Amino acid sequence: MVQASAYQLILDRKIGEYTLPDGWSIVAAGNRESDRGVVFRMASPLANRFVHLSMDVSVDDWITWAMSSNIDSSIVAFIRYRPDALFNFNTQNEEKSFATPRTWEYVNEVLASKPDDDLLLPMIGGAIGEELAASFLGFRAVANSLPDIDEVLEGTSTEVPTDTSSLHILCTALTMRITEGSSGNEINNLLGYTLNLPGEFAVMIVQDLRQRNIELDYLKNWPLWMKNFNKLLH
């Protein structure tokens, strides 16, 4: 009965004496029937009044959003390291907690609240599942052994981690420290530092900066960077 009341609204943009204003669009969102998310099958006459589009999770889009929303850099780095961890919903899994873009934002709020160390695993596990929470916290633990970000941007540190997880966290943290207000000297020092990194990580940093419209062409280290890594740019 509720669905039937929407037939005229969807097709004719009015219901009874009420007409939708010009410029308004009707958009409906819902879970798939296969998701077992308290979904009722849409009646055929109502379904025929819509254009149906299936939405997928995009890791790249989420990372762009996360970096502009000050999501903890260790979370962004972990998703880069394990793209499969952004969304791991499985209808066959009976666990109440699982990872989605929404629950990773909960993890960010947990970290921001600075709980006691012994509460981190149960709290984060309560958001994304215990197994994934353990993997994330293990990944995050290497952050303590990273070079000092300020020293890198000041040009006084050339220390480069050797393991992949550390490189992911470091590169994400470095790019998130660069803003429109950063000095040309800091950005140039960052470019100089990337010359010591494996190519994929040097390119990742530059692509992040470009995506945020950070100018690089005028920097002293840019010609050398291009000479070293230009072939790796997409």
- What is the mean pLDDT of the segment spanning 181-206? 93
- The whole-angstrom separation of Cα 171 and Cα 216 is 17
pLDDT tens digits, 33-57: 776 666 778 888 888 989 999 888 8
Cβ–Cβ under 8 Å, residues 104 and 75 = yes
- The whole-angstrom separation of Cα 163 and Cα 232 is 21
Closest by CA position to 72, among listed 126, 121, 158, 139: 139
- The whole-angstrom separation of Cα 133 and Cα 124 is 6
Is 19 in a helix, a strand, or coil? strand
Q: Indicate the pTM of the whole model.
A: 0.71
pLDDT tens digits, 115-152: 999 999 999 999 999 989 998 998 888 876 788 888 99
- What is the mean pLDDT of the segment spanning 167-178? 88
Cβ–Cβ under 8 Å, residues 163 and 195 = no
Pick the more confident residue, 85 or 143.
85
- What is the mean pLDDT of the segment spanning 59-76? 92
Per-domain boundaries in the chain: 4-47, 60-144, 147-232
